[in-house]
Copies of this chain bind each other. A is one copy, B any other.
Amino acid sequence: MSQLKKLNDRIVSRVNANLSEFDFDTESFVTNSLEHDKMLKFYAFYGITSQHPLYFHFRNSNIAGSYFLGKCYVGRSAIYKSDIRGDELKRRGDEIRGAMNIPLVEDEMITIKDSLLYKTLVHSNSHNLESPEEFGIRNTISAHYANIHGSTLEGCFLGPFATVDLMNLHSCIVGNFSYVQAGELFHRKIDHGTVWIRSQNFEFKYRFRKEILDNFVGVNSLYQPRGIIYDFVKDREQEFEKLFDVMNLEPIEAPSTSAVNRYAVVRGKTRIGENVLVSQKAFLENAVIGDGSNAQENTYIIDSTLAGNCITAHGGKIIHAEIGRESFVGFNSFLNGKADARIEIGEGCIVMPHTIIDPKIPIKIPSDHLIWGFIGSKDDIKNHTIALDDLAEVREVLKIGKMTFSGLGSVFIEGFKKRLDQILLLNGAFFNDGENRGHAQDDQNISFNLIQPYRTGERKGLYPSIRIKP
């Protein structure tokens, strides 16, 4: 096991060196997270299709249980049960805004070096102007169910269920269940439970009360995640392991315009509409997925309905809920309705990333509202929602409860809606008559390739060096 041990130690020492000013030692987290037995137990896999550019290169790494799509290099890293999805990487010749419209000299590629990603979702939507050809993650540790949705990351630690979106982080710590979309950040520590969006024209900031967050996402004395949300996903983990055990599964019934990944769990009375994408590691149970909707990686949709053109971003959980047309449920949100306390979200709503709704009686949010933070009762609705029309009027500062918005509300809403449209387009929601193909159409015929580590000897636990090209 010695090479694997060396790998761990190298990652710890490099990340610690970057975070030394915070007096932050990642060793306990790494030691308690990386069980070497598990790093041998699960195969890694990558998808190939005729629709996605193909390049994989794995070296001196353990990538147990992880899934790869697109172009990706992994070197001297541990990528455990993560999902590295490079199907939206930019291509050679593409131009990116702000970079003087100089086209990319080669296809963009995800590169992960000297890093540890644990059940992390890496998805490609980088706006890094300095190196548009590289979606780079280096000397970085990300804990359970983190989302990395944009690079560069250098020398960072992301806590469990943290999300970094469209941004670059250098020597930063992102707290548990924090969502950050704030451009370039250097040497910053983001408190637990922060939801922060910052751009030229506006800023949105919210922070969960510690005593509430602790119930849902925290860490125990061994630096492992705990809390209601972690228990929720842990309880369903075995369902996914079953999918790993069988090579050929009966395909899930779905229209020919939709894709249901074979590594998704689909149970109970579930109905899939047209132009629907159900990604790997999505979990559907008694779910109605309306036309053009999607259930992205690590989402759970249980006893719920998505009306149509709904987006469930990576890690979103929707239980006993109705989601109206063209509504969005952000990263890692936890809409925890119950049979006798259902959640109803109107049409055109934006449920901000990392929102928790955990009611004891039925909750109803009208159409065209923004929803954020924590809603545990009817009383909380007032302080955690606003009509989009009202927000559009804001020109300076708006404070509601623990949320502060400053800048132009109309620009915030317009930008958000534009991004949602883009997401629907990329996911194939608008596919019609051969036009507007997206993931729902392109991800139907994925060939899965399975790779495994050395089981004995000096390299035990490491994967051989492997390189795949078209």
Q: Please report A residues at the B interface, Cβ cutoff 8 Å.
A: 43, 48-51, 54, 244-248, 445-460, 464-470
**Residue with the highest number of chain B CB atoms closer than 10 Å, among A51, A445, A466:** A466
Contact A50 B465 (CB under 8 A): no
Contact B465 A470 (CB under 8 A): yes
Query: Contacts A452-B448, A466-B468 hold; do A460 and B248 have CB atoms under 8 A apart?
Result: no
Query: Can you list 5 contacts pairing A with B, beta carbon distance less than 8 Å?
Result: A51-B457, A246-B247, A447-B455, A448-B450, A464-B469
Contact A470 B460 (CB under 8 A): no
Tell me which residues across on chain B come within 8 A of A244, comparing CB atoms: 247
Nearest-CB distance from A240 to chain B (Å)? 13
Contact B460 A50 (CB under 8 A): yes
A455–B465 alpha-carbon span in the complex (Å): 25
Tell me which residues across on chain B come within 8 A of A246, comparing CB atoms: 245-247
Tell me which residues across on chain B come within 8 A of A467, comparing CB atoms: 466-468
A255–B457 alpha-carbon span in the complex (Å): 21
Contact A455 B247 (CB under 8 A): no
Contact of A455 among B49, B248, B453, B466 (CB under 8 A): B49
**Residue with the highest number of chain B CB atoms closer than 10 Å, among A50, A453, A458:** A50
Tell me which residues across on chain B come within 8 A of A51, comparing CB atoms: 456-457
Main secondary structure of the interface of A (DSSP, over half): loop
Contact of A468 among B48, B465, B470 (CB under 8 A): B465
A458–B43 alpha-carbon span in the complex (Å): 29
Tell me which residues across on chain B come within 8 A of A454, comparing CB atoms: 48-50, 447
A1–B175 alpha-carbon span in the complex (Å): 51
Residue of B nearest to A442 (CB): B456
Contact of A48 among B245, B248, B464, B469 (CB under 8 A): B464
Residue of B nearest to A447 (CB): B452
A195–B456 alpha-carbon span in the complex (Å): 42
Nearest-CB distance from A381 to chain B (Å)? 47
Query: Contacts A460-B50, A465-B470, A467-B466 hold; do A451 and B453 have CB atoms under 8 A apart?
Result: no
Contact B457 A447 (CB under 8 A): no
For the A-B complex with A245-B246, A466-B468 known, give 13 more contacts whose Cβ atoms are closer than 8 Å.
Answer: A49-B456, A50-B457, A54-B464, A245-B248, A246-B246, A247-B450, A448-B452, A449-B452, A450-B450, A450-B451, A459-B470, A465-B468, A467-B467
Nearest-CB distance from A37 to chain B (Å)? 14
Tell me which residues across on chain B come within 8 A of A446, comparing CB atoms: 455
Nearest-CB distance from A408 to chain B (Å)? 45
**Residue with the highest number of chain B CB atoms closer than 10 Å, among A244, A455, A460:** A455
A49–B447 alpha-carbon span in the complex (Å): 25
